[in-house]
Structure 1
Amino acid sequence: MQINISGHHIELTPAIKNYVNSKLDRLERHHDRITSTNVILSVDKLRQKAEASIHVSGKDFFADCESEDLYAAIDLLTDKLDRQLIKYKEKMRNHHR
């Protein structure tokens, strides 16, 4: 899985990059055909925002979250993406002929 992390109005430290990578590695447990992931971290006054788009063999998923803490926003983001991947995988399994 290729992960691209960018920041708007925020300096990306190695700690933040490692945290995002460790959280997104959890997504590979549910779906092994994730090809690319784009993560955008931004700050807007007191709100920390995390956005991500994932490309999975023919399907794109998008999620964004806001929180007062950047790490909490990343946690919420990965939870949303995790739920979307599980739902997609169940749909593919149930509709398979």
Structure 2
Amino acid sequence: MQINLTGHHVEITNSLREYVNTKFSKLERHFDQINNVYVVLTIEKSNQIAESTVHLKGTEVHATADNHDMYASIDALIDKLDRQILKHKGKTTHH
């Protein structure tokens, strides 16, 4: 899995990059056919927004989460993506 991390009005530190890598590695335990992941971290006024597009085999999954803390928004983003990936996996194995 290749993770492309981009910051918009925020500097991507090593600790933030490491946190994103460890969180997104948890998605591979449910579905191992993840090709690319594009993550954009943005700060707008008091909101800190994390959005991601995950390219799976055959489809794409997109989610956005915002919070006052960047780490909390990344956690919410991972939860949303995890649910969507499990739903996609259920559809592919069921059919």
Does residue 36 of the first structure (1) align with residue 36 of the second (2)?
A: yes
Q: Percent identity?
A: 46
Q: How many residues align?
A: 95
Matches within 5 A, 1:3-18: 3-18=3-18
User: Which structure: larger Rg?
Assistant: 1
1:12 is paired with a residue of what secondary structure? Answer: coil
In 2, the alpha carbon distance for the partners of 1:89 and 1:15 equals: 31
Under a length normalisation based on structure 1, what TM-score does the superposition of the two structures give? 0.96
Match of 1:26 in 2: 26
Gaps of at least 5 residues in structure 1 are: none
Q: CA deviation at 1:57?
A: 1.0
Q: CA RMSD in A?
A: 0.5
Gaps of at least 5 residues in structure 2 are: none
* Divergent runs of 4+, >6 A: none
Q: CA deviation at 1:58?
A: 1.4
Matches within 5 A, 1:43-62: 43-62=43-62
